[in-house]
Structure 1
Amino acid sequence: MTGDLLVIAQIAGRRCALSALDVKSVIEIGTITPIPRTPAWIAGITALRSQALTVIDCRHALGFGMGPGGSEWPTDHRAAVVADAGYSYALMVDSIEDITTAVGEAGQVPGGFGPEWSRVATGMIETMAGPALKLDLAALLSGPETARNEIEAVL
């Protein structure tokens, strides 16, 4: 992992890192059209050059509700575009900070990351921009455990 490029973003007030190889681009997110009967962590769809992107609200995908004090979480008007299993997604985050280089391997944090993060964080990684939680993209895209169980119950 040392020397790998990472995209650094803030999600639910925490600095996170995604592999730059997973991020196809960073876009200004336009109109998001809600999709009826989808879980809360799927904000809807948006378009990028005539391609439909499923918009994932990363805070809700992690299982976070409202922000501190019951307010909305701050949201950047940019999103990281990623692909997984042939589908494209736009990840709504609090903010996108930078592209930087890893200076070490991902390691565990004594006491863990917290229940919301334990499913998606593969470890804490030191970067040129400071420490960040290294995220597993597939785990993030799958949404919170409760939502996944609700979907499976419907199917």
Structure 2
Amino acid sequence: MTNKELFDNIHLFMPDGVEFIHDILENIGHISFRTEEVKRDGLEIIRKLLELNLIEVFHWGEHHKIIYNLDFTLEQTVKYVDNIWFIGADVSDFYGMVMFKYKDWYLQALEKEGLTHTTYWKVFVQEKIGDLEKWIEKNRPSTI
């Protein structure tokens, strides 16, 4: 998936667009989550969002108490998600898996632009942000 294809999925970048794996999948257009192809697409999106330093794990699901204090690399995080995500998983299964959140710098930068909980996301991006990919590059801290 190219960056253009990634950023065409504008709802993925809403502040709550990545909490559960099924949220990510829905925001890239999947309505069924049970196939190998969907898993591959989801892992690719998760990897790209991690590479862009946009998201982080905030809960490790069923294994949270065991691994929450470990410092996983990007590759280890993707591998963990790959290992726990089984083919045939559906919405209820994803609740016991890893949960993500957007990083604080991203959320704070959006708030600085005027985003609130009642803002219509697509209009906000069009009117306040413009090119979201360029805006992220401009606003992402260099020390991340």
Structure with the higher fraction of residues in strand conformation: 1
Structure with the higher fraction of residues in helix conformation: 2
Given the two structures, how large is their TM-score scaled by the length of structure 2? 0.26
